[in-house]
Amino acid sequence: MIKKTLLSVTLLLIVLASKAQVFTQQLQVTNNNRDYYVNRAITGETSESIEPTYILLHKAYAGVFLEEHHVMGKITAIRGGVSAWNRKWTVEVNTSAASNQTRGTLITYNETSRLVTLVYNSISYLAAEIGTNSLMGSITFTGYARNEMLTLVTHQQVSNVQPFSNLSDIISLNGRTVISDPHPSGNLVVIGPGADVNAGSGNLLSNGLVVMATTTARNATKGAQIEFAIPRDASGNCFGQGRILTVAGDGVMNNLTGKMLIGTRRAFNKAGGGVQWYYGDDIVIDGTGNVGIGTLTPQAKLAVNGDMFAKKVKVTATGWSDFVFDPSYKLPSLYEIERFIKANRHLPDIPTEAEVKEKGIDVGEMNKLLLQKIEEQMLYIIELRKEVDGLKKAIKGEAK
């Protein structure tokens, strides 16, 4: 009796194990004339080569009539060894090619991936590119497919790899949404009715591209950001190089005043905690329209905290010093100026050293004041010349 029971249990376990094996390998069903797969194996594994690897999805339209091809589902893989930083690689694809066009989107949750077109065995395919330095195996597909390939190939086996250009080619990378080559020219094109340069408060958002932060309230240090990144090395690891950041100009909820900061990334001690890779606040536009370079709080239409070099600077002055030559101008005597200098230790009308240190100087106004002193000195020189000429005549007369 015991032997029969053990035999029955053993047979049951064998049956269950075989069914489980079938389920984990591949299950194909037909639903509305579409084939559905569960954990369909994609044989092979990637390497840690500096070259990418590709999963052929299906044929791409290449100028001749093409019957229906599509792949709609999820591709997963196990990345690296037991101690690998990110054990799971997952992408979702929704692609099709038929008649006279190829369409597709790809969403990746872990590693870098994108849709590409390539040539394999003289045939054009749509493929999912797996980034470099990614050792992955146990690759499976679950979803709908028709006339699919789902074959892993190396970079050496293919040619003419091109980014797939598609208006619906939207990629989510590590929680970030990236629009990848949505236009054949490689440019991102945002089509809309256009924004009015004189739009008032009635327009909460513009009619173009809008980048919005999810801060719960108006925040003077956190806001919406556009970041510009390039690869750090041949493996494709990307790091931000520059940014445009907008924050609230103040914390008042009913006040829409904004502030914009433009900066590049560099190693410096920004927060007082040591040298790190920070973004600089290089150009600041505050809520009054003031622009600051090297300062977060510009107090003028253009405030520069540092040196400036220019080939030419033009200053529009509201007045000039030619009034000195007007016959009605009362030129102070040199004795009056001498007494003023002894009492105040600077020229009349010229700011003191303390005033310059505290407030700086107005370049236009200072040039006007300096010219005034030069013109006054010219009048003194002319007057002295006349006195000298008079004395010379008197001396010559006495000599006769």
Give residue limits of the domains in the chain: 25-179, 224-304, 322-399
Which residues make beta-bridge pairs with 116? 127, 163
207: tokens are 């009619």
Residue 170 has pLDDT above 80, yes or no: no
Residues 165-172: what's their mean pLDDT? 51
Nearest to 114 by CA among 43, 202, 26, 178: 178
Nearest to 125 by CA among 73, 53, 58: 58
Amino acid (one-letter) located at 195: A
pLDDT-derived band at 157 (thresholds 50, 70, 90) equals very high
The dihedral built from the CA positions of residue 220, 221, 223 and 228, taken in this order, carries a sign that is positive
Tell which wins on pLDDT, 17 or 220.
Answer: 220
Tell which wins on pLDDT, 139 or 51.
Answer: 139
Residue 348 has pLDDT above 60, yes or no: yes
Please tell me the predicted confidence (pLDDT) of residue 316: 87
Tell which wins on pLDDT, 257 or 32.
Answer: 257
**In the chain, pLDDT over 70 holds for what percent of residues?**
78
Nearest to 115 by CA among 125, 127, 98: 127
- Taking the C-alpha atoms of residue 269 and residue 265, their distance in angstroms, rounded to an integer, is 12
- Taking the C-alpha atoms of residue 194 and residue 1, their distance in angstroms, rounded to an integer, is 85
- Taking the C-alpha atoms of residue 33 and residue 30, their distance in angstroms, rounded to an integer, is 6
Please tell me the predicted confidence (pLDDT) of residue 388: 93
Most trustworthy range by pLDDT among 43-47, 65-69, 138-142: 138-142
Residue 23 has pLDDT above 60, yes or no: no
Tell which wins on pLDDT, 68 or 212.
Answer: 68
Quick one: 21 exposed, middle or buried, by C-beta within 10 A (0-12, 13-18, 19+)? exposed
- Taking the C-alpha atoms of residue 282 and residue 298, their distance in angstroms, rounded to an integer, is 12
Residue 146 has pLDDT above 50, yes or no: yes
Tell which wins on pLDDT, 246 or 28.
Answer: 246
- Taking the C-alpha atoms of residue 142 and residue 137, their distance in angstroms, rounded to an integer, is 16
What pLDDT digit, counting tens, does each position of 105-130 carry?
999 887 778 899 999 999 999 999 98
Residue 373 and residue 347 in contact, taking contact as beta carbons nearer than 8 Å: yes
- Taking the C-alpha atoms of residue 365 and residue 8, their distance in angstroms, rounded to an integer, is 106
- The separation between CA 201 and the C-alpha centre of its own chain, rounded to angstroms, equals 27
pLDDT-derived band at 168 (thresholds 50, 70, 90) equals very low
Please tell me the predicted confidence (pLDDT) of residue 251: 72
Residue 29 has pLDDT above 90, yes or no: no
Residue 204 has pLDDT above 90, yes or no: no
pLDDT-derived band at 42 (thresholds 50, 70, 90) equals very high
- Taking the C-alpha atoms of residue 156 and residue 51, their distance in angstroms, rounded to an integer, is 9
Q: Is residue 49 classed as helix, strand or coil in its secondary structure?
A: coil
Please tell me the predicted confidence (pLDDT) of residue 5: 56
